[in-house]
């Protein structure tokens, strides 16, 4: 088990890039695999989750060349190019892999079995299995298909209209992928807008989609055409570097070529509301995704309230936001975030538990966190609980803690941010 140790620092400066966006990297492989032709991907995230996606599609007979860890070539042969896998499809720790792939598998005329790690085995799959069954999919698994392992006998889908109770890009994307293989129209309506990388990338691959408010529709029977995909830096990874620059005194850091999709930039809005000295320079679009540079300086921060439509726009950033809020003047309230309980860990409970170990004053609520600041951090030992974002949040907290922070089970960080520790050293 890996351990990383961070120490109290001063004056972080530099201009860096973070690894490619995880959501976009998964989709580039999947859409390349079902498209016709050769899809080239640059800036791919070689994190454990996206490598699981590659391995699953290889098991379905798709040829994927890796020219370097970040440069891929996916040889798609259309929907019919996917073959019945001879063994399990193992998604590892990746919720995006399993939920999106189920949308693809349920339309394919073959049998497949999907498994994952201990964390995946605890995460709810019924949020996709139920609507997929309404479309006619034959999916079963542990506890009536709520949990892995799952078995899928694909084929014969019918379009539906689905009102999703949660704003989830994984649910929406799963049903769009199933809908592309279904008879008629499939519509997914959500309570607020979740990240829209699937819609943007499907359009780039030649698919027609209709959007009406928070509902998106797709006609079945469409095929995808191979593309060149350049993946921007992951704003969710950039958030840890932004936090380091904000909290460590005398710092100024620029993070270049970060994805600035408005469904993902809630962290920028929240930090600016807290008084962060943060500038964004938009530079253009890569495959329909806005990209730019973010410069962050050490800042005096005030508390804030985070809830409602902002939550899906920063859902993965809440552990690091809690670290930042522990240093802001006043009480920060994070609410409407019950979804955090079904992430890689229960991130409400785990964030509160680990931050308290370092001396922060954090209360857990039913749907979020209350953080009282500013609290000087004493530091000490923390555990990632096998959750990459918890591991990184605590490592960043160590940069301002008197005794630093030793993070146990730090290997989880490789899920989304290979090279995290080296990048911190470089600043
Ligand atoms: C993701 C969607 C989000 C996010 C996850 C990646 C995606 O999950 O938390 O890290 O790539 O679609 P939900 O769709 O469950 O909110």
At residue 108, the pLDDT reads 98
Q: Which residue has the tokens 């000490």?
A: 380
CB 168 less than 6 A from any atom of ligand 1: yes
Mean residue pLDDT across the chain? 98
Q: Is 250 a catalytic residue?
A: no
* DSSP SS3 for 357: helix
How many whole angstroms from 98 Cα to the centroid of ligand 1?
11
Question: Does residue 100 register a pLDDT over 90?
Answer: yes
Q: Which atom of ligand 1 is nearest to the CA of 170?
A: 14
pTM exceeds 0.75 for this model: yes
Residue 12 to residue 250: CA distance in whole angstroms: 7
Q: What is the pLDDT of residues 104-124, one digit of tens each?
A: 999 999 999 999 999 999 999
- CATH fold label, 22-230: UDP-n-acetylglucosamine1-carboxyvinyl-transferase; Chain (3.65.10)
How many whole angstroms from 323 Cα to the centroid of ligand 1?
21
Q: Which residues contact 223 (CB under 8 A, 6 or more apart)?
A: 35, 36, 78, 79, 206
Q: Which atom of ligand 1 is nearest to the CA of 166?
A: 16
CB 23 less than 6 A from any atom of ligand 1: yes
At residue 163, the pLDDT reads 98
CB 174 less than 6 A from any atom of ligand 1: no
Extract the annotated binding site for phosphoenolpyruvate: 22, 95, 123, 170, 347, 389
How many whole angstroms from 343 Cα to the centroid of ligand 1?
9
Nearest CA to ligand 1 atom 11: 23
Q: What is the pLDDT of residues 371-387, one digit of tens each?
A: 999 999 999 999 999 99
**What's 3-20+232-426's CATH class?**
alpha beta
Question: Six-digit token pair at 61?
Answer: 């007979």
Q: What is the pLDDT of residues 36-48, one digit of tens each?
A: 999 999 999 999 9
Q: Which atom of ligand 1 is nearest to the CA of 339?
A: 16
Task: Identify which of 21, 120, 315, 338 to mutate to test ligand 1's pocket (most ligand atoms within 8 A of the CB).
Answer: 315
Instruction: From the candidates 316, 383, 387, 414, give the one annotated as an active-site residue.
Output: 316
CB 224 less than 6 A from any atom of ligand 1: no
C-beta of residue 184 within 8 angstroms of C-beta of residue 159: yes
C-beta of residue 149 within 8 angstroms of C-beta of residue 104: no
* Comma-separated ranges of CATH 3.65.10.10 domains in the chain: 3-20+232-426, 22-230
Question: Does residue 88 register a pLDDT over 90?
Answer: yes
Q: Which atom of ligand 1 is nearest to the CA of 26?
A: 11
At residue 261, the pLDDT reads 98
Residue 169 to residue 195: CA distance in whole angstroms: 6
Confidence of residue 162 (pLDDT cuts 50, 70, 90): very high
Q: What is the pLDDT of residues 302-328, one digit of tens each?
A: 999 999 999 999 999 999 999 999 999
Q: What phi and psi values does residue 323 have, to the nearest 5 degrees?
A: -60, -45
Q: Which of 323, 345, 211, 229 is nearest to 267 (CA)?
A: 323
At residue 294, the pLDDT reads 98
Nearest CA to ligand 1 atom 10: 316
Q: Which atom of ligand 1 is nearest to the CA of 100?
A: 12
Question: Does residue 329 register a pLDDT over 90?
Answer: yes
Q: What is the pLDDT of residues 214-237, one digit of tens each?
A: 999 999 999 999 999 999 999 999
CB 237 less than 6 A from any atom of ligand 1: no
At residue 1, the pLDDT reads 77
Residue 69 to residue 115: CA distance in whole angstroms: 25
What is the average per-residue pLDDT within 355-370? 98
Extract the annotated binding site: 22-23, 27, 95, 123, 168, 170, 316, 343, 347, 389
């Amino acid at each position: 088990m890996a351990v990383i140790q961070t120490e109290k620092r001063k004056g972080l400066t530099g201009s860096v890039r973070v690894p490619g966006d995880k959501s976009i990297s998964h989709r580039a492989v999947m859409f390349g695999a079902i498209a016709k032709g050769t899809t080239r991907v640059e800036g791919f995230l070689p994190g454990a989750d996206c490598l699981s996606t590659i391995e699953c599609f290889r098991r379905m007979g798709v040829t994927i060349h890796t020219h370097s860890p970040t440069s891929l070539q996916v040889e798609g042969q259309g929907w019919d190019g996917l073959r019945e896998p001879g063994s399990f499809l193992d998604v590892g720790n990746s919720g995006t892999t399993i939920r999106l792939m189920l949308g693809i598998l349920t339309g394919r005329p073959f049998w497949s079995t999907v498994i994952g790690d201990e964390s995946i085995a605890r995460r709810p799959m019924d949020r996709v299995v139920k609507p997929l069954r309404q479309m006619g999919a034959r999916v079963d698994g542990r506890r009536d298909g709520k949990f892995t392992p799952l078995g899928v006998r694909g084929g014969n889908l019918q379009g539906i209209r689905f009102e999703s109770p949660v704003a989830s890009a994984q649910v929406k994307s799963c049903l769009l992928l199933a809908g592309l293989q279904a008879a008629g129209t499939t519509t997914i309506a959500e309570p607020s807008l979740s990240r829209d990388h699937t819609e943007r990338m499907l359009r780039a691959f030649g698919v027609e989609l209709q959007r009406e408010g928070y509902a998106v529709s797709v006609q079945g029977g469409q095929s995808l055409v191979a593309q060149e995909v350049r993946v921007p830096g992951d704003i969710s990874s950039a958030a840890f570097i932004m936090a380091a620059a904000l909290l460590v005194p005398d710092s100024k850091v620029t993070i270049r070529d970060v994805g600035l999709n408005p469904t993902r930039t809630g962290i920028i809005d929240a930090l600016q509301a807290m008084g962060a000295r943060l500038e964004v320079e938009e530079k253009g679009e890569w495959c329909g995704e806005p990209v730019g540079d973010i410069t962050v300086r050490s800042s005096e921060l005030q508390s804030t309230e985070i809830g409602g439509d902002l939550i899906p726009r920063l859902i993965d950033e809440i552990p690091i936001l809690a670290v930042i809020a522990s240093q802001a003047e006043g009480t920060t309230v994070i609410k409407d975030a019950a979804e955090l309980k079904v992430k890689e860990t229960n991130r409400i409970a785990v964030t509160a538990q680990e931050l308290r170990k370092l001396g922060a004053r954090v209360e857990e609520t039913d749907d979020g966190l209350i953080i009282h600041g500013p609290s000087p951090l004493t530091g000490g030992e923390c555990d990632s609980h096998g959750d990459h974002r918890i591991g990184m949040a605590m490592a960043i907290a160590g940069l301002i803690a008197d005794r630093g922070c030793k993070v146990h089970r730090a290997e989880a960080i490789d899920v989304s941010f290979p090279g995290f520790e080296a990048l911190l050293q470089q600043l």
